[in-house]
A and B are shown apart, each in its own frame.
Chain A
Amino acid sequence: GAVVSQHPSWVICKSGTSVKIECRSLDFQATTMFWYRQFPKQSLMLMATSNEGSKATYEQGVEKDKFLINHASLTLSTLTVTSAHPEDSSFYICSASRQGPETQYFGPGTRLLVL
């Protein structure tokens, strides 16, 4: 199967610090990776789409300087929440897709709590 890992699964940090979340496709090469944010009891909100070696495409309303995305290789994408504030506390999920009519494979998610 297609496995996507995400690290860390939980992070608690102080306001003002930066937090990096890694998303890896373990057994396939991901042409595209996606970053979502989910608030409690709500649907997934797409934040950005990234392709290996190119700049991420951010959804409207998502601050590029706040949420830095780097897609360094076909198996790794990182999301850095810069100068995190309590309102950035959320559940962040990444997903990866291969070429073709396939589903997105999701990571297990990262719960971020900013104090």
Chain B
Amino acid sequence: AQKITQTQPGMFVQEKEAVTLDCTYDTSDQSYGLFWYKQPSSGEMIFLIYQGSYDEQNATEGRYSLNFQKARKSANLVISASQLGDSAMYFCAMREGGGNQFYFGTGTSLTVIP
């Protein structure tokens, strides 16, 4: 089974609108971490936001927030007030337990329309 599932290959959003990128995960560990990365066309992977499995509050970082629903095993990324520079690939990732290995989803390509 896939550890991380991103079901939206491509998304479009109007500039200044909010957009939600979906991510579901699969693990039997009680302790895990969830991450979102942005990859623009330049190729670099930019860390956006982190949510720990024991964190009770949803993580927020500026215009990024993570909608963490533990029972549903989902960790959706919400980008508010989209900007043209947000156009990129977005990857959801998980690290289980005390391990170092990351499991990445297949990514969602976001296009912000002016």
Instruction: Identify the A interface with B (CB < 8 A).
Output: 31-32, 34, 38, 41-44, 46, 49, 91, 93, 95, 97, 101, 103-109, 111
Given A101-B33, A103-B35, A103-B50, verify A44-B44 contact (CB < 8 Å).
no
Q: Is the CB of B104 within 8 A of A109?
A: no
Residue numbers in B under 8 Å from A104 (CB-CB): 47, 100, 102
Residue numbers in A under 8 Å from B45 (CB-CB): 44, 93, 95, 106, 109
- Within 20-55 of B, Cβ neighbours of A (below 8 Å) are at 33, 35, 37, 42-47, 50, 52
Nearest B residue (CB) for A33: B100
Residue A43 contacts which of B44, B46, B50, B107 (CB distance < 8 angstroms)?
B107
Residue numbers in A under 8 Å from B83 (CB-CB): none
* B68 at interface, CB cutoff 8 A: no
A104 CA / B106 CA spacing, docked (Å): 18
Nearest B residue (CB) for A105: B47
